[in-house]
Amino acid sequence: MKWAAAAPVFGAVAWQGVSRKLFGGTREAGNVYQRIGVRPLINARGTWTYLSGSLMLPEVRQAMDAASRQFVDLFELQAAVGKRLAALSGAESGMITSGSAGAMAAATAACIAGSDPRKIWQLPDTTGLKNEVVMLGGRIAFDSAIRLAGAKLVLANTLAELPSAINSQTAMVYTTWRDDNLPKALAITKKANVPLLLDDAAGIPPFENLSRYATMGVDLYCFSGGKGMRGPQCAGVLLGRKDLIDAALKNYNPNEGAICRAMKVGKEEIMGMLTAIETWKKLDLSALNREWNSRVQRIAKVVETVPGVSTRIYVPEEGNSYPTLQVNWDEAAFKLTVAQCDEQLRAGDPRIEVLTNSNPSLVPAVEEGAGDIKHEAPKNQLEIVSMTLQDGEDLIVGKRLREILSTAKAQS
C-alpha cells in the first residue's frame, strides 16, 4: 500500500532526473556562490539566520532594485514609511530596523534615553537614567541587543514575579509571550506606566499579527523581515506608540552619535521590507499552507516505503510554524543515528540541511530562561520544514533521504 501511494511521487522523481539531463537542471550553472567555493544548499531546516533566513518575495527583489537606482533622504523615507506602516497595522507608527535584534536595541534606547539629545549621546552610559529592563519569561540568546544600549537585565520568570520586578528604575519590560499571559502582563505594565516590548520575530505569517498587537494595546512590537515575511534578511520592523517610535528613530541610523547608528538599514532594505508587508496583505495563507503541506506529504510517501520508517506531519507552535515532517526510525536497529543521517544529507550533492536539535549558531555558554532551572536536552529528531523548500526540492530531499535510510536498513 505504501508503494502504491508513493508511485506517483517516484514518477515525478524519475521525470525530474530526465529533465535535468535534457535541459541542464532548473538552476544556472556556476552561480555566484559556487564561483568563490561556497556550496548553495537545499534548505529543509527553516528560516534560520545562519542558513540565510528565507528567500525574498519577487516583489521585494523588484522593489529593492528600483530603490537602488535613486537617492533619497533617509529621515524623510523613514517618516513616510512610518505613516504607511501605521495605515497597514493600526499601530500609531513604525520604522524599519536591522532585523528583530535591531528593533530590540532601538526600542531599549528609546525607552532609556527618549528623544533627549544629551541622553542619546550618553548611551550606553546610563548613569542617572532609568536603565532596568525586565525580561518577562527569563533570558534569551538575543538579549545582548538590549544590554548594548546600557540596560541592566532584571529577570521575571513568571507573571507572578512581574509586579515586584518593576520599580522606579524600570525603563521597559521585554517578552516573547504571545499567549493568554500577554494581556495579563499588559494590565500590569500599563498600571505601572512602563512600556512593554513584544518580540515576535517569526510571527508573520499569519499576517493578522501585524495588527493584532496594536489592537491589544502593546506599546512596542517587532517582527523579522528575513523569516516568514520573506523580506530582506537584514531588515525587520518595529511598530507601536508614536512617541516611542519617534524616540527610537532619534537613537537609530542615520543619526551620528546615536547608539544604534551601527545598525544601518539602507533605502533598499527599507523599501524591500515595506513591500514585503504590503505583499503579505494580499497573499492567501490557506493556499500557501496547502502547498507547503503537499511538499512534506510527498516526502513522507517516499521515505515510508523503507520498512521501519514512519512519519508525522504537524505544525509547531513556536518558530517556523509551517507544516513540518518528522521522520522516525529505530536508530539502534538501523545502526544509523539522526546526527549521522543529518551529516550524510549535508555532505551529499546537492547539500541538504534538515532540522535536528543541533544549533551551530548558538554561543555554547548561553543559558536561556531561568538560570537555576535545568532542562533536559530534547530528543534528537529529524524534521523537514516545508516553507523553505523550493519547487521540486521536496522530490530531491525525499529521494536522498530514502537512499540513506534504505542503505542503512540493508547494511544492518
Per-residue pLDDT tens over the stretch 277-333: 999 999 999 999 999 999 999 999 999 999 999 999 999 987 778 999 999 999 999
In percent, the amount of the chain with pLDDT more than 90 equals 87
pLDDT in the model for residue 31: 82
* pLDDT band for position 3 (cuts 50, 70, 90): low
For range 192-202, the mean pLDDT: 97
| Residues whose CB falls within 8 Å of the CB of residue 153, separated by 6 or more in sequence, listed in order | 132, 133, 135, 139, 143, 146, 147
Rounded to whole angstroms, how far apart are CA atoms 87 and 277? 12
| pLDDT value at 15 more than 70 | no
For range 74-103, the mean pLDDT: 98
Question: pLDDT tens-digit profile of 137-170?
Answer: 999 999 999 999 999 999 999 999 999 999 999 9
pLDDT in the model for residue 17: 57
pTM, two decimals, is 0.91
Rounded to whole angstroms, how far apart are CA atoms 131 and 170? 6
Closest CA to 104 of 144, 152, 52, 50: 144
Neighbours of 13 (CB within 10 A): 19
pLDDT in the model for residue 320: 75
| pLDDT value at 18 more than 70 | no
Residue 324 CB burial class (10 angstroms; 0-12, 13-18, ≥19): buried
9-13: list long-range contacts, CB under 8 Å, 24+ apart: 9/298, 9/301, 9/302, 9/395, 9/398, 10/302, 12/298, 12/395, 13/302, 13/395, 13/398, 13/399
* Residue at grid coordinates 505569517: 205
Say whether 403 sits in a helix, a strand or coil.
helix
| Residues whose CB falls within 8 Å of the CB of residue 174, separated by 6 or more in sequence, listed in order | 104, 133, 134, 135, 136, 143, 146, 196, 197, 199
pLDDT in the model for residue 378: 73
Rounded to whole angstroms, how far apart are CA atoms 142 and 317? 20
Residue 357 CB burial class (10 angstroms; 0-12, 13-18, ≥19): middle
Rounded to whole angstroms, how far apart are CA atoms 337 and 386? 22
Closest CA to 178 of 144, 226, 222, 133: 222
* pLDDT band for position 25 (cuts 50, 70, 90): very low
| pLDDT value at 260 more than 50 | yes
pLDDT in the model for residue 379: 86
| Residues whose CB falls within 8 Å of the CB of residue 184, separated by 6 or more in sequence, listed in order | 159
For range 3-21, the mean pLDDT: 56
